[in-house]
Amino acid sequence: MKSTVEQLSPTRVRINVEVPFDELKASFDRAYRKLAKQVRIPGFRPGKAPARVLETRLGRGVVLDEVVNEAIPAKYLEAVNAGEVKTLGRPDIEVTKIEDGQSLEFTAEVDIRPEITVPAFGELAVSVDDVEVTDEDVASQLDELRARFGSLVGVERPADTGDFVSVDLSATVDGNEVEDARTNGLSYEIGSGQLVDGIDEALVGASAGETKSFTTTLVAGEHAGREAAVNVTVQTVKERQLPELDDEFAQLASEFDTLDELKADLQTRLGRVKAMQQGMEARDKVLEALLEATEVPMPETAVDAEIEVRKHDAVHRFEHDEARFAEWLATQDKTVEQFDAETRAESERTVKTQLVLDAIADAEQTTVSDNELTERIVYQAQSFGISPDEYVQRAQQSGQLGAIYADVRRGKALAGVVAQATVTDASGNKVDLDELFGNVNKKDEAEQAEATAE
């Protein structure tokens, strides 16, 4: 087989392939076996008709079509590997010549990963927020802790924000009741924003036994995107009474004997959380600086594929009804054209990020260990509330296992960039991110040393 690669643009190539017929013998054999099972020829058992009989009965063209369809995918991959072409997406294949007994020729146009020149990582500099734990932060944590140990007590007054109410709900769309929206005895904290838009405003000031009405736009179910009339009836109103903030509470809510010890522990925990948030902020800002400093030609098929996924996900909850989706967008003060523009911009950024991090991972020879992949799978499975085995099975069926591997690899590549960038806090102090990102490099060094020893 002969193949050449023709550069059409920074992101697209044409692969020209010529295959001698003597390399197609295996494809011809498989084609004859397949066709023999599909047709019944008098005098021969199913699948046993010889090649010349099949050609006489079906015609040589049918056999050639089967051979071409069977051989091209394999020969295309062979040409891609021979030319070390880093392809993106599916190729557009055109058969340019079939000379029976001589050769098969075809071309394949496909998008590729462009050549990318990234800046020196040490030249990237970003500033992040200071790590500061205030008295207000500690007090907020104490209030949340007190709420967990609080009790609900019925009150004879109108409901207010923060109260817990038991309510009955019903809704109609165009005068027809929405069955999925009907519920009785639902417990709800006013102001939590956990139900439909408008309910918090309707409930404030309502007393037990009172019914309030309001309109809202449904965001799920068969009526997603439609305006619904909602009736909410208050059954009971309860307020949360919090325990006193003293040493006795500290002993109840923690392993500490005094309130001061509990406060000190919360201060330490909040410091760790804010340090982690600072690290995440550094990661995001370094990535943004990296993308701004890197020119990347956009492979259109990759961008179009990302757009298609995002649009599919957006309209899926509206049962792919474009009109209902447009109605919902209108409730968000957004047009379909604005949504399309935003989706394209987000898709281009996603593709650019993937290409840049893949290029860095290749240059740095970043690898992903079995343990690292397993850690990600376990984490993802927990977020979906399923077992790791079931998650892997679903990922394999959907072809997403490779994407998970690639995502972990990109994360490691970005961690390596962040570790080399200059990160300072708002006060001008250099931020040491070794605790968050340094372990990535140390782990890679350890794995390389282990491989060398072997």
Q: Give pLDDT tens digits along the chain (454 positions).
A: 899 999 999 999 999 999 998 888 888 888 877 777 777 777 676 666 776 777 677 777 787 888 888 889 999 999 999 999 999 988 999 999 888 888 899 999 999 999 999 999 999 999 999 999 999 999 999 999 998 999 999 999 999 999 999 999 999 998 889 888 889 999 999 999 888 899 999 999 999 999 999 999 887 777 878 889 999 999 999 999 999 999 999 999 999 999 999 999 999 999 999 999 999 999 999 999 999 999 999 999 999 999 999 999 999 888 888 988 998 898 888 999 999 999 999 999 999 999 999 999 999 999 999 999 999 999 999 988 999 899 989 888 888 888 999 999 999 999 999 999 999 999 999 998 876 665 544 445 444 444 434 4
The pLDDT of residue 89 is 86
The pLDDT of residue 448 is 47
The pLDDT of residue 454 is 43
Paired tokens of 111: 């998008």
Write down the pTM of the prediction. Answer: 0.75
Task: Output phi, psi for 222, to 5 deg.
Answer: -70, -15
Residue 431 backbone class (left: φ over 0; alpha: ψ -120 to 50; beta: rest): beta
Q: Which residue has the tokens 């570790």?
A: 419
Where do the domains of the chain lie, and which CATH numbers do they carry? 2-111 (3.30.70.1050), 151-241 (3.10.50.40), 278-452 (1.10.3120.10)
The pLDDT of residue 305 is 92
Residues with Cβ within 8 Å of 331's Cβ and at least 6 positions away in sequence, in order, are 217, 225, 227
Length of the chain: 454
Per the CB < 8 A criterion, the answer to whether 217 and 225 are in contact is: yes
DSSP 438: I
Paired tokens of 444: 């890679």
Residues with Cβ within 8 Å of 358's Cβ and at least 6 positions away in sequence, in order, are 113, 406, 409, 410, 413
Paired tokens of 262: 């509990």
CA atoms within 13 A on the CB side of 242: 12
Residues with Cβ within 8 Å of 200's Cβ and at least 6 positions away in sequence, in order, are 161, 190, 191, 192, 193
